[in-house]
Copies of this chain bind each other. A is one copy, B any other.
Amino acid sequence: MNIEEFVREGHLTYMPNVAVDCAIFGFHHNTLKILLLKWKNLDGWSLPGGYMKRTEEAEEAARRLLSERTGLEKIFLQQYYTFTGIDRTKIPGFDLDSFGKSIGVEIESNHWLRQRVVCVGYYALVEYSKVKHPRADSFTEVCSWRSIDDLPPLLFDHKEMIEMAVRTLRLQLNFQPVGLNLLPQKFTMNELQKLYETLLGCPLDRGNFRKKMLGTGILRKTGERPTGKAHKAPHLYSFNKQEYVRSLKSGMKFS
């Protein structure tokens, strides 16, 4: 469906009042990143998202959008909050009349795109290096990773959405497989600690962290060290998935 068809007949395929947005997190160079889209002709970015199809449940819509933007399937995905602010989709500096004219479609006063939209928020955890070529959609021109600590100007209520996603991630650190999904298969103790420090928003004592993590039994020493480093390079670990999942069930106590 091109933009013109979407504007004319999108309401036949999509529910005009219900959308889904995805906060897709990755971890790279010891920084928490999020995948954002830069809108065409607007100085603003947003989370990847879109209307829910009439034939879809929210999670199906989220998986479709994730796959369209990242090419990835079977991503770790959690619904975290539904945003229902009355004017949440209004964009300053963007009006539907001029937009309609620019694509040759009249957008009447009762047009489906003028309706109020509630949005089901999902967060996804991906291994950064697996997202090779993030793709923009019809309304946007760039899809790229941005650091959580240095976000560009955000459209709609997406600043609030991101803040709440990060807060949720932090609260769920002890009972969702956050590390397992954000880190590469092999990682150093230092990388693991940085991930926890980033999510918890505070520094952790190195010795204590190491001792606690090893004590949980969820780590396996691979016996390898990063290549291309001096022989004093740190050990590489991987997760013992079975033990990790078991620990989560009883609620891990890292912090």
Using CB atoms and an 8 Å cutoff, list the residues of chain A in contact with chain B: 15-18, 52, 54-59, 79, 81-82, 84-86, 116, 118, 120, 171, 174-175, 251, 253, 255
Instruction: Please give, as numbers and ranges, the residues of chain B lying within 8 Å of A174 by CB-CB distance.
Output: 251
* CB nearest neighbor in B for A52: B84
Is the CB–CB distance between A84 and B17 below 8 Å? no
Q: How far is the CB of A76 from chain B (nearest CB, A)?
A: 17
Query: Known: A17-B15, A52-B84. Is A118-B58 also a contact (CB below 8 A)?
Result: yes
Instruction: Please give, as numbers and ranges, the residues of chain B lying within 8 Å of A17 by CB-CB distance.
Output: 15-18
* CB nearest neighbor in B for A253: B253
Q: How far is the CB of A123 from chain B (nearest CB, A)?
A: 14
Q: How far is the CB of A7 from chain B (nearest CB, A)?
A: 20
Instruction: Please give, as numbers and ranges, the residues of chain B lying within 8 Å of A52 by CB-CB distance.
Output: 84, 118
* CB nearest neighbor in B for A120: B82
Is the CB–CB distance between A57 and B82 below 8 Å? no
Q: How far is the CB of A46 from chain B (nearest CB, A)?
A: 20
Given A16-B17, A59-B84, A171-B175, 19 other A-B residues pairs in contact with their CB atoms under 8 A: A15-B17, A15-B116, A15-B118, A17-B18, A18-B18, A18-B118, A52-B84, A55-B86, A57-B84, A57-B85, A58-B118, A79-B82, A82-B82, A82-B120, A84-B120, A118-B118, A118-B120, A174-B251, A251-B255
Instruction: Please give, as numbers and ranges, the residues of chain B lying within 8 Å of A81 by CB-CB distance.
Output: 79
Q: How far is the CB of A26 from chain B (nearest CB, A)?
A: 25
Residue in B58, B116, B251 whose beta carbon sits within 8 Å of that of A82 in the complex: B58
